[in-house]
Structure 1
Amino acid sequence: MAMLSAAGGGLLAVSFSSTPLLQRHLTPQEAAVFGKGGSLTNSNLQLPELTRPVNILVMGMSVLTADVGESPRSRNLNYEAQVNSFDGLSDVMMLLRFDPETKKINILSIPRDTRIEMDGYGQVKINATNVNGGPAGSARAVSNLLGGVQIDRYLRVNVGGVQKLVDALGGVTVYVPKDMKYQDDTQHLYINLKKGRQHLNGDQTLQLLRFRHDQDGDIGRISRQQMVMRALMEQSLNPATVTRFPQILNVIQSNLDTNLSVEELVALLGFSVKIDRSKVQMLTLPGDSNGNGRHDVSYWLPNYSGIQKLMARYFAQENQQ
């Protein structure tokens, strides 16, 4: 508790209610998408705590110069480089539920190729909702897909932020399930990992997370994302790391965009540190791949019956569709 208090103290140098990591201006209509459930925390205690279940949409962004209308030549480059932006496709989408009533964390991965209908755009892949509607548009789309579930907050982190985070935590030890080799000179994306248990730095972790050039495609990549996420929680969510949280946050701050307040960040951190790791459940959106569908577009086709059952069991969600 003393270490958590120290971390909280470091964060609370700014206002409890402020959102220092909010990098996108949300219109009142956009902000209202996330405000339907009311307050998340109790600030009358020494440290804030969650007062109800909280659903947070997490998006991992891979944004290239072309995605923001830049020419590589403007940066004296001859390839499409990653940029520190949040305006591209969401390469990763997860809905996280922190439940103080059951003392569980449920993490639902949503394949980026999931086919949905988006108002004004028709049939699209769900990863395009961030481009078309920002975080609020993505939240609406995910909520509709999942039977009307309330999404309380969002967090977007780009490729640079993931690499900085892993390095700030001292790396992560995982089992690489197979040899992975891939080269894309147009993006300067180079993947070269060997099978086996090993300690990865930030760049190597990104290679593991981004590889999808095998028969498992995006579903295999989701499995590896969940493996890395669980390993980071098991290896880094501890009192020693908690005391360094303000410094770690400072390192990755420019690569994060979230409407979580300082108070809410402290409450989520405290909950996550105390929870039994066996109470963390990793899930994937029920569905199936269509291979190459209409116009040779590959989709993940949602299984709505399976989604309804999953949401009822893990997100206390009654079907509202």
Structure 2
Amino acid sequence: MKVFRRVLLGIIAVVVVIIGYIGVEFFMGYQAAKEVNGSQANAPKVVKRKDIPDILQVALVGSDARSLDENGRSDSLMVGQYNQKSHDAKLVSIMRDSYVDIPGYGQDKINAAYSYGGYPLLQETLKDNFAMDVPYYVTITFQSFIDCVNEIFPKGVTIDAEKEMELDGVEIHPGVQKMDGNTLLQYARFREDEEGDFGRVRRQQQVVTALADQVKDVTSILKLPKAVGKLMGSIQTNLPQSFLVECGLDFVQGEVKEINTLAVPVEGSWDFNDNTPSGSVLELDLEQNQQAIKKFLNEE
């Protein structure tokens, strides 16, 4: 009986140490991110876990803001759909030069909506123009993206680069290679060629898919709590952190199927217009794009 008691106490002690280690490492990562990004003066109201549907849609916003207290422009804008039961994942990328009606501001590029009124205005803009009601969102700044990639993927992210490119002093050569956070960001942002936003959206989807596919292989179990803490401290969202960790584990454990993607505007549904107050834009056939999105998300 004494032996059993010792074994039981030993197991309890090990569990306590592990939980304590995870908690401390998570907190250290979270605090490190907060020191860089600052506290969120206008932090969003977090929804309750029980109110999140099995199939949810969440906007993924990459902002050029310098901190989470600023809105900045949505340099990248995607809407992800995730089925928590089937683990099906879909990703709709919306090109930043899409010329839309921003409520209260008139016609402008869609990337301006986040700058004008944060996510509430962007949510309204998505609903009015693309018939997508997206109540949840996650935003991250450029620098936070770089820091999180470097923390979670210390050996880099494997990418098959499409072509020769250079942006913000970063040179990228074609072929399979390991990219650190800054290189990966510039690869996803590059649009200084004949494809413009079309090529950039394709590369952004390539980057998201690579991150999702490789996350389960790159970080040791000892480093994972701090990496997760850093990620949680680097984003702004109205989803519970526990829920995000839960979804993240689905990717880490390999339960999520291949991510299906759609780029908006879809083929044959847009025209270039260089003569607008916003500069060169993409004028869209909204109805055609609404139908394409609806079909892709299986909402018909």
The two structures share one fold, judged by TM-score above 0.5: yes
**What is residue 174 of structure 1 aligned with on the other side?**
159
Give the one of 55, 58, 63 matched to 2:57: 55
Deviation at 1:121, TM superposition (A): 0.7
Q: Is the 8 A contact 2:95 2:198 kept in 1?
A: yes
Deviation at 1:239, TM superposition (A): 9.3
**What is residue 122 of structure 1 aligned with on the other side?**
106
**What is residue 205 of structure 1 aligned with on the other side?**
184
**What is residue 74 of structure 2 aligned with on the other side?**
90
Aligned length: 267
**What is residue 148 of structure 2 aligned with on the other side?**
165
Output one character per residue of 1:85-132: Cα deviation in whole Å (capped at 9) or x when no partner: 542111000001011344310000011111111221111111111111
Matched residue type, 1:98: Y
Output one character per residue of 1:47-68: Cα deviation in whole Å (capped at 9) or x when no partner: xxxx5101111100113xxxxx
* 1:23 paired to 2:6: no
Deviation at 1:243, TM superposition (A): 6.7
Q: Distance in 1 between matches of 2:278 and 2:124?
A: 27
Compared with structure 1, are the counterparts of its residues 306 and 278 closer, same or farther at alpha carbon in structure 2 (3 Å cutoff)? farther
Q: Distance in 2 between matches of 1:37 and 1:126?
A: 30
Deviation at 1:224, TM superposition (A): 1.0
The within-5 A match list for 1:68-107 is 86-107=70-91
Matched residue type, 1:95: V
**What is residue 306 of structure 1 aligned with on the other side?**
288
Q: Distance in 1 between matches of 2:224 and 2:121?
A: 30
Q: Distance in 1 between matches of 2:73 and 2:125?
A: 14
Matched residue type, 1:200: M
**What is residue 135 of structure 1 aligned with on the other side?**
119
Q: Distance in 2 between matches of 1:153 and 1:139?
A: 9
Q: Distance in 1 between matches of 2:219 and 2:48?
A: 35
Larger helix proportion of the pair = 2
* 1:235 paired to 2:214: yes
Structure with the greater alpha carbon radius of gyration? 2
- The DSSP-based 3-state class of the residue aligned with 2:169 is strand
Deviation at 1:202, TM superposition (A): 1.2
The unaligned stretches of length 5 or more in structure 1 are 1-5, 15-19, 41-50, 64-81, 183-188
- The DSSP-based 3-state class of the residue aligned with 1:294 is coil
Give the one of 189, 204, 222 matched to 1:225: 204
**What is residue 51 of structure 2 aligned with on the other side?**
39
The within-5 A match list for 1:284-299 is 284-285=263-264, 286=266, 287-295=269-277, 297-299=279-281
Deviation at 1:277, TM superposition (A): 5.5
- The DSSP-based 3-state class of the residue aligned with 1:216 is coil
Deviation at 1:141, TM superposition (A): 1.0
Q: Distance in 1 between matches of 2:83 and 2:230?
A: 28
Q: Is the 8 A contact 2:216 2:253 kept in 1?
A: no
Output one character per residue of 1:273-300: Cα deviation in whole Å (capped at 9) or x when no partner: 4565653101111243414133572112
Q: Distance in 2 between matches of 1:239 and 1:254?
A: 20
Q: Is the 8 A contact 2:89 2:257 kept in 1?
A: no
Q: Distance in 1 between matches of 2:70 and 2:221?
A: 27
**What is residue 30 of structure 2 aligned with on the other side?**
none
The within-5 A match list for 1:249-268 is 249-268=228-247
